[in-house]
A and B are shown apart, each in its own frame.
Chain A
Amino acid sequence: MTPEAIQQYLDFAYIAATVLFILAIKWLSSPASARRGVLAGEIAAALAVGATLCNPELVSYKWVIITLIIGAAVGVPLGMVHMTAVPQRTALSHAFGALSAAMIGIAEYYVGVPHVTRFGMGEIGLEVIIGSLTFTGSLIAAGKLQEILPQRPIVYRGQNFVSLSVLSAALLLAIALVVNPANTALFPIMVVVALVFGVLLVTPIGGADMPTVISLLNSYAGFSAALLGFVLNSKVLVVAGALDGSSGFILSVIMCKAMNRSFTNVMFGAFGQVQAGAAAVTEERTVRSASPEEAADILAAASRVVIVPGYGMAVAQAQHKVRELFDVLTKKGIDVKFGIHPVAGRMPGHMNVLLAEADIPYERLVEMDEINSDMPQTDVALIIGANDVTNPAARTDASSPIYGMPILNVDKAHTVMVIKRSMSPGFAGIDNPLYYMDKTLMLFGDAKNFVGSIVRELVGGHS
């Protein structure tokens, strides 16, 4: 067979892979067919990788095989991480994806130079800039999520000016390279400047904004792969990149809407810092607190309970105790649902995965809009490690920094119970009037221990 004929067969394999990619995402739309989607994706990947290994252009398999083995050896443990570590794993995988896209773009440049066309240089330049900034940006995000780096937003005066100047510098270098693609001295400088911009882009962003940032980096990683498809004239890369890019983009839009904020506000706003002063002026108000026994009695007397989990539940690793609570209440004939805010946790869908891991049936996990219509008929809303997403000031206080943000209307329930370590304000540094309402009981303590004590009381069965 001539190399051209082989190439044609390979193209058919890529087309089949492309179709399977689209089916994979289509099947992911509901839990019932989702695993079939993963299978379709796996077949697509196997087809594409297998076809590529038959490519007659390959002269040596040594490094290919060695690095495939290394990749698998790194990938499997990264696929086996604990569910609480999924956000940082995801950020790390954005970093890896962007790294490989950037590496390939850089290799294409050095292999092609001095025969790189101006148009090709434009494509490579853009691809390498996006790949590089996504690489370092995702590493910073992963570091913050793993708490190697501080989760607080790190800000300084003139930050936006510095960041935008660095980005402009990278783009100007790319333009200079388009004017003269053979100017090899500029290329590494452009890469370094883009890497620096990635760091500057994510460092000022706080932990609570991570769902948006992860989605946005997802989108960048996808678009850098699609651009790489343009550089290499590979349609399968263009399609995979476009799917990944649009997925990340849609998720970022959903996250931004759920926080009532714009992209620019997330990227350049440095949320947490601004309100530090505002929180300090609130006068001392009284709150009512309750013991596990009292909380258990109230829950036992309820007929409808909504549990609102937040990042604090994940931090305290309380999801399995929450499942025990769910079981014991359900056994008593109490209707228990979970109200999931879109930005609860550190990435889109984070709470659903944690609760699913704890074996809570997914039909009990209810989206914000749907659960809000149930709130007035709810006897007890139990909040575990969530704060800002339950703050009624978002509805009522036009001066609040989160005013207009869609929230879970737990204040409409008959009784509200909040498990919280102390009265310290949430991530955004905003005071929560919910805690001072007459119907609210504060349950102070570690989420895991407190839920465990409630469960013991309920099982102990004096109710």
Chain B
Amino acid sequence: MPADFLSNLYVFILAGFVGFELIKRVSPLLHTPLMSLTNALDAIVVVAAIIIAGRQETPLATVLGAIAVAASFSNMVGGFVITDRMLRMFKTGKQQKP
């Protein structure tokens, strides 16, 4: 079993626990923004896509990488935009009007 696998597994398990503890505490009020924000964070796969598309090893890999860059970067941009839009709407009665 490769050593990399084991260190990745450690990270995965620890991150999973951290995620579980943090997400449990997110108010149900914010479940929709939670989903769109984690989507935007998940779009970090764009970094892998950029490397595949920019390394230009084979034409096939470059094309697949290019599709992946477009798909994940649109998620990243769109995810942050919509999450921020939603959160700006959540106001308390006091903030709203006197």
Contact = CB atoms under 8 A, between A and B. Distances in A.
A79 B85 contact: yes
A238 interface: yes
Interface in A357-372: 357, 359, 361-365, 367
Interface in A313-336: none
B39 A93 contact: yes
B77 A79 contact: yes
Interface string A84-102: 0010011001101101110
A362 B75 CA distance: 27
A239 B11 contact: yes
B97 to A, nearest CB: 9
Contact of A25 (B9, B37, B81, B86): B37
Interface residues of B, number: 86
Interface residues of A, number: 115
B50 A250 contact: no
Given A29-B25, A353-B86, A64 B41 contact: no
Contacts, number: 373
Contact of A96 (B75, B87, B88): B75
A222 B79 CA distance: 14
A31 B8 contact: no
A241 interface: yes
B38 A248 contact: yes
Contacts of B75: 75, 93, 96-97, 100
Given A107-B64, A240-B44, A75 B76 contact: yes
Contacts of A233: 4, 8
A24 B93 CA distance: 25
Interface in B36-77: 36-58, 60-62, 64-77
A239 B15 contact: yes
Interface stretch (A49-57, A400-408, A419-427, A435-443): A49-57
Given A63-B65, A110-B60, A28 B26 contact: yes
B53 A63 contact: yes
A352 B31 CA distance: 9
B52 to A, nearest CB: 5
Contacts of A74: 70, 74, 78
Contacts of A254: 28, 31
B51 A63 contact: no
Contacts of B42: 97, 221-222, 225, 240-241, 243-244
A45 B36 contact: no
Contacts of B88: 35
5 contacts: A75-B73, A93-B78, A97-B43, A101-B45, A357-B86
Across the A-B interface, the 3 shortest Cβ-Cβ residue pairs? A79-B81, A71-B73, A349-B31
Interface of B: 1-2, 4-5, 7-9, 11-12, 15-16, 18-20, 22-58, 60-62, 64-93, 95-96
